[in-house]
Amino acid sequence: MTADYRLMWTNLGLDLNAHDALLAVLGKAYQEIYLSQKNRPDAMGYFDFVMSEVHGLRIKELLDEKAAGRKIIGSYCVFVPEEIVLAANATLVGLCSGADFATENVEKLLPRNTCALIKSSFGFKVGKVCPYLESADMIVGENTCDGKKKAYETLGHLVKNLYVMDLPQVKSEQGKALLRAEYGRFKAAVEKLTSATVTPESLKKAILTVNAKRAAIHRLSSLRKADPTPISGLDALLANQVFFYDNPARFTESVNKLCDELEKRVKDKTGVFPEKTPRILVSGCPQAVPNWKLPLIVETSGAVIVGEESCVGERGTRNLTDESGETIEEMMEDIVDRYFQVDCAIFTPNPDRLNHIEEMVKAFKADGVIHYGLQFCQPYLMESIPVEKALEEKGIPCLRIETDYSMEDVGQLKTRVEAFIEQLR
């Protein structure tokens, strides 16, 4: 990366030494994990470029947007509605939370037995290594799990403009009313931040933009149903991860271009792995950049991942927002309807998720499910047991794993994953 970026990072207040170290590790990991894959689609070149510039060019773009009067809003969760953000002349970015950083300092602020994702989000802040976080004019925390909602109380002292969104935990009329009220409050807060007013036109346009992005991901997912699968799980996960960072229109175009190539592959019956390679559905906690630990283990052990039942994956992108609304009230209600369907494990009970897992197993012709749980993530770990039981009753093999971002359990995990794959053959 060029020297311009160093000045940009300094101005953002990053710790350049720590940031250099992070980029060096990331670059090496990307090389080893991504670029060493065989039979990659050519169109993944775009995502390689995005990743190589993830702290460079993309940040420059965001700063240019800011200079032109737009605001940047950072988020940690798929419940933060991008439609409202875009409609109010702001850009939404997902914030870094997929790697351990500055763990010792984080553990001065959070208990040790906090999940890796929350610790990571703090690590990027206290380590001063996330340019997205430092570019953001507003950071949205959301009351999902207990870990996150209590952590935001502390995060509020570390960042300038933390906005906390409350979320329902039950799919009832009252729950929906809460979401409706919270989205209304959020809309007002974003409008205040940007001094822009959400209009029927801007909201309509935003709904179409975000839907197009989701539709492109749906197209990508659907191509993974083919055997041989035309794209690796690692690459498909990357596209789902970049979903949270990239310019929406450009992302949509790039994913569609990738899909054009994959369609050709499916027609020619060419894939990344041979036909009949065991197919795995990953279900559970989100895998944020650069958390590629599980797919790397799976896809170097003789299986392929065909879907992610995850926030970074189907759970985050499953439904489109109804596009028929004309007034702001109608469209806001459509947005509430759309997000209220997200089957996050903070909801109780949460039967939709189990149904979705079973649907996905069928649709993607998965031979087995790996339930991915982050250590100390109570909601997903709790659900993993009934999920495993229900799948077993249907004769679908399931492996429950519980891990974090460290590498100390890789050998152990590899043995378990390999044994699971042997089971599927």
Partner 1 sequence: MGKQFTGIDIGSRTIKLVVVDEKGEIVLSLQTDTSFDPIFEAKKLLNGVHCDGIIATGYGRNLFEIAFDAPTVTEIKAHAIGARALFPDARTVLDIGGQDSKAIALFEDGRVRKFEMNDRCAAGTGKFLEIMARTLGFTIEDFGREALLAETDLNISSMCTVFAESEVTSLIAKGENRREIARGLHASVIRRAAGMIQRVANGGDIVFTGGVAKNTCMQKMLSEKLGRNVLVAADPQQVGALGAALLVAKKMNIIR
Q: Find all residues with CB under 8 Å of 7, minimum gap 6, and list them.
A: none
Nearest CA among 140, 97, 95 for reference residue 115: 97
Do 257 and 46 meet the contact criterion of CB atoms below 8 Å apart? Answer: yes
What φ, ψ does residue 374 adopt, rounded to 5°? -85, 135
Torsion over CA: 30, 282, 123, 414 (sign): negative
Query: Using CB under 8 A as the criterion, which residues of the chain lie in contact with partner 1 when the complex forms?
Result: 392, 397, 402, 408-409, 411-412, 414-416, 418-419, 422-423
Partnered with residue 140 across adjacent β-strands are: 75, 163
CB nearer to partner 1: pick between 99 and 401: 401
Do 194 and 70 meet the contact criterion of CB atoms below 8 Å apart? Answer: yes
CB nearer to partner 1: pick between 184 and 302: 302
CB nearer to partner 1: pick between 139 and 361: 361
- The distance of Cα 240 from the centroid of its chain, to the nearest Å, equals 6
CB nearer to partner 1: pick between 134 and 404: 404
CB nearer to partner 1: pick between 275 and 392: 392
Burial 377-396 (b: 16+ CB within 10 A, else e): bebbbebbeebbebbeeeeb
CB nearer to partner 1: pick between 28 and 425: 425
Q: How far is the CB of 394 from partner 1 (least distance, A)?
A: 14
Q: How far is the CB of 100 from partner 1 (least distance, A)?
A: 16
Q: How far is the CB of 414 from partner 1 (least distance, A)?
A: 8
CB nearer to partner 1: pick between 333 and 409: 409
| Cis upstream peptide for 248 (omega within 30°) | no
Q: How far is the CB of 412 from partner 1 (least distance, A)?
A: 6
Q: How far is the CB of 408 from partner 1 (least distance, A)?
A: 6
Q: How far is the CB of 415 from partner 1 (least distance, A)?
A: 5
CB nearer to partner 1: pick between 166 and 392: 392
Q: How far is the CB of 385 from partner 1 (least distance, A)?
A: 10
Do 388 and 314 meet the contact criterion of CB atoms below 8 Å apart? Answer: no
Q: How far is the CB of 6 from partner 1 (least distance, A)?
A: 39
- If one counts every other C-beta atom within 10 angstroms of the C-beta of residue 185, the result is 13
Beta-strand pair 138-142/398-403: unpaired
3-state helix, strand, coil in the chain (%, to 5): 55, 10, 35
